Chain A
Amino acid sequence: MTAVPELVLAPTATRRPSAFGTWLRLNRDLWIPGVLLALVILACFLGPLVLHVTDPLAQDLESVNLPLFSPSYPLGTDDLGRDTLSRLLYGGRTSIEIALAANVLGLFFGGVIGIISGYRGGLTDTLIARGIDVLVAFPSLVLLLVVASYLGPSELNVILAIGFFSIPAYARLARAATMRLRGLTYVTAAQLGGQKDTVVMTRHIFPNVLPQLLTYSILHIGIVIVIEASLSFLGVGVPPPTPSWGTMISNGQLYLTTNPLLLLVPSAALVITVLLFNTVGDAVRERWAKS
């Protein structure tokens, strides 16, 4: 047989990057929005302490409606002479706090309900699943309005209201994941091994459902921030004068023609933050789905 020259199909790597370098290259979709998101959150929670911004509630009636880059007011002031930058940072703090708290509530109760429903099956499952369907079928924003106005505007009530309406999404997710796990033999093995149902649910099912719920919660935070803003915009959210992005937008739309900055600045902050949460959430979900 004649010798055939070796044929190289794919070029071989010339220089080997370091392990960390490779990780950075392969995970751009995760770490770039992740770092930006961390900056936004840090700015909202630590910014006011570091930047020596003025009190967000302090009114300076001699300098109302200042434009961008004014001395000592980089983002200008509003109609009452309050520092827009300061209100934006404190408002972001409120918005993110509400989003996180409502999410934790929804995740916990939704998770518990979903796991019980998926694990027990039968009548329990049917009742819970129909209950969730009913909740989902309601126009939730309208219902939120009713609930929030009934409870009265306060940060806690907003958290409770949004948290309650986050339950169905988490419960459905947890239920589906539990039903998948219930078919796996390690759950059967634990049951046959004499393990109590409560232990199986808390120690075998819950830890394996949690990553999926957490991944979803990153995406859900974005949604909750928008809902919170909508509620505040409609006047049943965080009561003034406490700043939140929703109240800032709501206040800004009154001055749309005279000082559009008051509307644009908090809206931009809202859009960017929600976008970042969604990008990070998508990146995490993609990784979770692969593993």
Chain B
Amino acid sequence: MTTRTTVVASEGAPDPMATTAPVLEVEHLRVVFRQGEKTTYAVNDVSLSVPLGRTLAVIGESGSGKSVMSRALMGLLPTTATITGSVRLLGQEILGLPENDLRQRRGKDMAMIFQDPTRSLNPTMKIGTQIAENIRIHEKDVSRKEAIARAVELLRVVRVPAPDRRVEEYPHQLSGGMRQRVMIAIALACQPKLLIADEATTALDVTTQAQVMDLLLDLQQQFGMSMILISHDMGIAATYADDVAVMYAGDVVERAPVTELFGHVRMPYTRMLLDAVPRLDRPAHALIPVTAARPPDLSKAATSCRFAARCPRVQDDCLQTHPPLEEHEDKHAWACFHPIPLERTSA
């Protein structure tokens, strides 16, 4: 496999204090959809950074904006979306890049795997040909034969048994877990620096999910990648991520390293989400502490805390001002005026 020199561009934001520049830096990212009369504020002022070799989990329910955000990073949103802010990949601004340049960066510097591998694979094409084609898109001087040989090697890397036989098979001959491995192989073809996994294991069985997540973590070490895990599952974040960002209604509402976050939850929404996850250690027939409320109205820009309506700790100021995400403690940021006090948060 070819090695590429890491480009840490200087035109972005040279920070003399930083030892390693983050692979991805997102600042004030906003995504607004306008379609006819309907306006949807899908992502509001999200700032994140993913250091080299680390894994960030972005956790949220459907409608939290986590998938819209990941698609914005990849430049995969439709034209009805207005995207503002800054997204720097390896120090270089990629928001607003022409589609052609972006296509080059996609796959080469960053890649994405999705929930449904069947939709991303061509059912009439052999597995090997599909992987080889992806290699040849980015490396034009590779011969077809060479690309197939690399495809076999990649399948071996993603632990597909009997890879030299598998390259001759079609997607429908593979199980869901194997298909997702093929998608990972395609994503890895050009050794990206950043891999975004959008609910990549949600459709898989729990044992297969554990296998695939295990594989992703090994590959991350092997290739020195950074990863973003987009998921609805708190368990995925706790088990596989280094840093966690919790999203609610388009805002990042809490962000911290994994042990800090799960050890000292401060934002009431995170607490509620964590309590709602089915657990082995809860007695049978126990009730789950959740409050009912309508889902937040995303058609208006936030003027108050979006979680206020279902928050057990709500006070007057929550209804008047939108709490910003601020780093209140070392590396632990939350967007809440009345966070859960420390002594009560131990899980």
Contacts and interface: CB of A to CB of B under 8 A. Distances in A.
Question: Do A and B interact directly, with beta carbons closer than 8 Å?
Answer: yes
Interface of A: 1-2, 4, 6-10, 12-13, 16, 19, 22, 26
Contact of A1 (B27, B37, B95, B96): B27
A268 to B, nearest CB: 38
Given A13-B34, A16-B37, A22-B37, A7 B13 contact: no
B99 to A, nearest CB: 11
B15 A10 contact: no
Contact of A8 (B25, B79, B84): B84
Given A8-B82, A10-B83, A22-B36, 11 more contacts: A1-B13, A4-B86, A4-B88, A4-B93, A6-B86, A7-B86, A9-B96, A10-B79, A16-B37, A19-B37, A26-B36
Contact of A7 (B37, B79, B80, B84): B84
B263 interface: no
Interface string B208-233: 00000000000000000000000000
B85 interface: yes
B81 interface: yes
B172 interface: no
A1 B34 contact: no
5 contacts: A1-B25, A7-B85, A9-B81, A12-B34, A19-B37
Interface in B21-76: 25, 27-28, 34, 36-37
A7 B82 contact: no
A4 B13 contact: yes
Q: From DSSP, what is the main secondary structure of chain B's interface residues?
A: strand
Which 9 pairs of residues, A with B, have the shortest CB-CB distance?
A4-B86, A22-B36, A9-B83, A10-B82, A7-B96, A6-B84, A1-B13, A2-B13, A7-B95
Interface size for chain B: under 10, 10 to 19, 20 to 34, or 35 or more residues?
A: 20 to 34
Interface string B289-328: 0000000000000000000000000000000000000000
Contacts of B81: 9-10
B22 to A, nearest CB: 10
Nearest to B49: A1
B85 A6 contact: yes
Contacts of A2: 13
A178 B86 CA distance: 51
A13 B88 CA distance: 27
A12 B84 CA distance: 12
Contact of B15 (A1, A4, A7, A8): A1
Contacts of B13: 1-2, 4
Contacts of A1: 13, 15, 25, 27
A45 to B, nearest CB: 35
B91 to A, nearest CB: 12
B28 A6 contact: yes
A36 to B, nearest CB: 25
B222 to A, nearest CB: 31
Of A1, A8, A22, most B-chain CB atoms within 10 Å: A1
A4 B94 CA distance: 12
A9 B31 CA distance: 10
Interface in B83-141: 83-86, 88, 93, 95-96
A130 B57 CA distance: 56
Contacts of B88: 4
Contacts of A26: 36
Interface centre among A2, A6, A8, A9 (most CB of B within 10 A): A9
A5 to B, nearest CB: 8
A26 B84 CA distance: 27
Contacts of A4: 13, 27, 86, 88, 93
B45 to A, nearest CB: 11
A6 B95 CA distance: 10
Contacts of B93: 4, 7
B95 A9 contact: yes
Determine which residue in B25, B36, B82 has the highest number of CB atoms from chain A within 10 A of its CB, and name it: B36
A26 B35 CA distance: 11
A9 B82 contact: yes
A19 B36 CA distance: 8
